[in-house]
Amino acid sequence: MTKPIVTLEKMSKQYGTHVVLPEIDLTVGEGEVLAIIGPSGSGKSTLLRCLNYIEHPTSGVITVANTRVEVGRDDSTRRIRELRKNLGMVFQSFNLFPHMSVLRNITLPQVRVLGSSEKEAEEAARRLLDRVGLADKADQYPARCSGGQQQRIAIARALALGPKVMLFDEPTSALDPELGVEVLGVMRELAETGMTMIVVTHEMSFAENVSDRVVVMADGRIIEQGNSRDIIRSPQTERGRRFLRAVNER
């Protein structure tokens, strides 16, 4: 593994007495593409949301780049903001502002978060829209774009803030297969440029062929992890075999 850029040390999450994540340990190397797979309800999305402090973890230590946060001890608003600066997040739903143009959806966060000038933000937004194949949609509103196009806009918006790590939470689950291919193509290009990515996905082809490593989760725990091709084709745990058999038989 290359130099670690994301480290989770005994990160847990519980709601009352219900433990969703029981002390997760995980390290992601710089430039690595990590795919997280597993059955519904296994804690995959919760792991991402806790890493990004969208949900407050119950305990543990989270380190992203040079920012280290110990839950309950030094997770002040300022420290969480520093942590989030390193992370870009793309959700299942696109979460675009419907009353703003595509261009404004990408420039506004740059102006508000980075303090960029309107000119700088617009130049960066247009470069990113060109990168995701949507330069001609800058002046459109999200409702005039397909689901796949909206998800690519959401990726451009996340990239505009210059994150060191991109988090994807089932980015194609709300799309039909044709539109999903468009999004996966952009993600593949990101992987090829060396972007560190953690991807919760049900796309087994992407997990096998694009990611460097696969983590399998079940019941809130990491039950196995390793080389993507090895895990997808020859899982070592019975639970992993059962999950992948069910995926392949759909």
Q: Residue 170's pLDDT is what? A: 92
> What integer best gives the mean pLDDT of the chain?
94
Residues 41 and 133 both lie in one domain? no
Local structure of residue 36 (DSSP, 8 states): E
Residue 132, pLDDT above cutoff 90: yes
pLDDT digits (tens, 9 = 90+) for 5-26: 999 999 999 999 999 999 999 9
The parent domain of residue 2 ranges over 1-86+165-250
Residues 115 and 143 both lie in one domain? yes
Residue 162, pLDDT above cutoff 90: yes
Residues 121 and 110 both lie in one domain? yes
Domain boundary among 144, 162, 180: 162
Rg (the chain; Cα; Å)? 18
- Spatial distance between the Cα atoms of 194 and 206, rounded to a whole number of angstroms: 16
Residues 118 and 219 both lie in one domain? no
Q: Residue 75's pLDDT is what? A: 82
Residues 80 and 180 both lie in one domain? yes
Q: Residue 139's pLDDT is what? A: 96
Q: For the chain, give the percent of residues with pLDDT over 70.
A: 100
Q: Which ranges of 160-227 does DSSP label H, i.e. alpha helix?
A: 177-192, 204-209
Q: How confident is the model at residue 92 (pLDDT cuts 50, 70, 90)?
A: confident
Report, in this order, helix, strand and coil percent for the chain, each rounded to 5: 40, 25, 35
Residues 145 and 188 both lie in one domain? no
Residue 56, pLDDT above cutoff 80: yes
Residue 94, pLDDT above cutoff 90: no
Mean pLDDT, to the nearest integer, of 55-82? 93
Domain boundary among 162, 182, 217: 162
Higher-pLDDT residue of 93, 47: 47
Residue 1, pLDDT above cutoff 70: no
**Domains: count for the chain:** 2
Domain boundary among 105, 139, 162: 162
pLDDT digits (tens, 9 = 90+) for 168-218: 999 998 888 888 899 999 999 999 999 999 999 999 999 999 999 999 999
Residues 173 and 250 both lie in one domain? yes
* Residue 29 neighbours by CB under 8 Å, 6+ apart: 1, 2, 3, 4, 5, 196
